[in-house]
Structure 1
Amino acid sequence: MRLPRITIAATAALTLAGAAACGGNSGETTGTTGGTALYGRLPDAIKEAGVIRFAGDSHPPYRIVANDGKTVTGIDKEIQDALGKALGVRTEISIVNGLPAALSGMLASRYDAFNGPVKDTAEREKQFDAIVWMVSRTSYLIPKGGSAAVKDSGDLCGKRVAGAAGSVVEEQAKRLSDWCAKQGRPALAFIGLADTNGTILAAKSGRADAAGMTESAAIDAMAKEKDAYTYVTQTDEQGAGVDQLAMLVPKTGGLGPVVLEAFKEIFANGEYKRIVDKYGLQNVAVDQPAMNTATNTAPTTGAAQ
Structure 2
Amino acid sequence: MRLSRTMLAGAAAVTLASASACGGGAGEPQRPAGATALYDALPDAVKEAGVIRFAGDSHPPYRIVADDGKTVTGIDKELQDALGKVLGVRTEISIVNGLPAALSGMLASRYDAFNGPVKDTAEREKQFDAIVWMVTRTSYLIPKAGSAAVKSSADLCGKRVAGTAGSIVEDQAKRLTDWCVKQGKPEIDFIGLADTNGTILAAKSGRADAAGMTESAAIDVLGKEKDAFTYVTQTDEQGAGVDQLAMLVPKSSGLGPVMLDAFKEIFKNGEYKKIMDKYGLQKVAVEEPALNTAGAQ
Normalising by structure 1, report the TM-score: 0.86
Are 2:91 and 1:91 aligned? yes
The 5 A counterparts of 1:31-110 are 35-110=35-110
Whether the aligned pair in 2 keeps the contact of 1:137 and 1:215 (CA below 8 Å) is yes
* Deviation readout 1:141-188 (Å, 9 max, x if unpaired): 000000000000000000000000000000000000000001100010
> How big is the alpha-carbon RMSD for the aligned residues of Structure 1 and Structure 2?
0.9
Query: Shift in Å at residue 33 of structure 1?
Result: 7.6
List structure 1 segments (4+ residues) > 4 angstroms apart after TM superposition.
Answer: none
Whether the aligned pair in 2 keeps the contact of 1:139 and 1:231 (CA below 8 Å) is yes
Query: Shift in Å at residue 35 of structure 1?
Result: 1.6
Name structure 2 gaps, 5 residues minimum: 1-31
Classify 1:56/1:277 alpha carbon distance in 2 versus 1 (closer, same or farther; 3 Å).
same
The 5 A counterparts of 1:79-158 are 79-158=79-158
Whether the aligned pair in 2 keeps the contact of 1:33 and 1:50 (CA below 8 Å) is no
- Structure of larger gyration radius: 2
Name structure 1 gaps, 5 residues minimum: 1-31, 298-305
The 5 A counterparts of 1:216-255 are 216-255=216-255
In the other structure, the counterpart of 1:277 is: 277
Between structures 1 and 2, the one with greater helix share: 2
In the other structure, the counterpart of 1:268 is: 268
* Deviation readout 1:235-288 (Å, 9 max, x if unpaired): 000000000000000000100000000000000000000000000000000000
The sequence identity of aligned pairs, in percent, is 85
Q: Which amino acid letter does the alignment assign opposite residue 78 of structure 2? A: E
Q: Which amino acid letter does the alignment assign opposite residue 69 of structure 1? A: G
Q: Which amino acid letter does the alignment assign opposite residue 98 of structure 2? A: G
2:201, 2:40 → 1: CA distance? Answer: 45
Whether the aligned pair in 2 keeps the contact of 1:162 and 1:199 (CA below 8 Å) is yes
User: Secondary structure of the residue that 1:38 maps to in structure 2?
Assistant: helix
User: Across the two proteins, how many residue pairs are aligned to each other?
Assistant: 266
User: Secondary structure of the residue that 1:294 maps to in structure 2?
Assistant: helix
Query: Shift in Å at residue 296 of structure 1?
Result: 2.2
Q: Which amino acid letter does the alignment assign opposite residue 278 of structure 1? A: K
Query: Shift in Å at residue 295 of structure 1?
Result: 1.5
In the other structure, the counterpart of 2:204 is: 204
1:100, 1:238 → 2: CA distance? Answer: 27
Query: Shift in Å at residue 70 of structure 1?
Result: 0.2
In the other structure, the counterpart of 2:289 is: 289
Query: Shift in Å at residue 37 of structure 1?
Result: 2.3
Whether the aligned pair in 2 keeps the contact of 1:113 and 1:250 (CA below 8 Å) is yes
Whether the aligned pair in 2 keeps the contact of 1:34 and 1:89 (CA below 8 Å) is no
In the other structure, the counterpart of 2:19 is: none
Query: Shift in Å at residue 34 of structure 1?
Result: 6.0
